[in-house]
Homo-oligomer: A and B are copies of this chain.
């Protein structure tokens, strides 16, 4: 038989903490083995007891060390634990930081006890439960990071040469690479600079990569 899923809770609000604990312990497959009111308390206990929970339910708005700051520390002490954020903070910055720090789920505090328990199961099955509005934020952030700018109307040749510049080639190397005179390459590079409104290779390369021109 499969052993129970071990959960710990880090949440400063005592009422919420207790109700979460209660809800979890009602389920036959999950058990809340500990609950803490601060990150520091949790870290201390985990370290001294060498605790390795399957799931850590984590609030962001904690006294002292914030939930976000806590994530890397928790990962250090117990790398296999999956972290689920449960918070009222749904701003881009917190969502971004939590995900980058390695959270496996991001839920809002309006979720039912039943929803929490289901989310824990989803994480154990390799999923990443997310509030639908959080998911929307993630999708938007993701898309914004990957839109290819196309506003400089570079020609195909110019894009080709810009790509070679990004790869670190000199004019001569580029010329050899695409069988052109280095004068022609020079000419193309000037046109690229004009279109990108820069005056140096460095700026052109930075702009090309940062604004995903290729």
Contacts and interface: CB of A to CB of B under 8 A. Distances in A.
Interface of A: 96, 99-100, 102-104, 122, 125-133, 135-136, 138-139, 141-143, 145-147, 165-170, 198, 200-203, 205-206, 209-210
Given A132-B128, A209-B209, A209-B210, A143 B202 contact: no
B99 A139 contact: yes
For the complex formed by this chain, how many copies does it contain in all? 2
Given A165-B202, A168-B202, A203-B168, A133 B142 contact: no
B130 A100 contact: no
Given A166-B206, A206-B168, A139 B136 contact: no
Contacts of A136: 104, 126-128
A205 B203 CA distance: 9
Nearest to A137: B128
**Interface of A: prevailing SS:** helix
Nearest to A130: B135
Contacts of A210: 209
A145 to B, nearest CB: 6
Given A100-B146, A128-B139, A145-B145, 4 more contacts: A99-B142, A100-B142, A127-B136, A130-B130
B143 A135 contact: no
A51 to B, nearest CB: 25
Given A99-B139, A206-B205, A209-B210, A168 B200 contact: yes
A129 B130 CA distance: 9
A122 B134 CA distance: 12
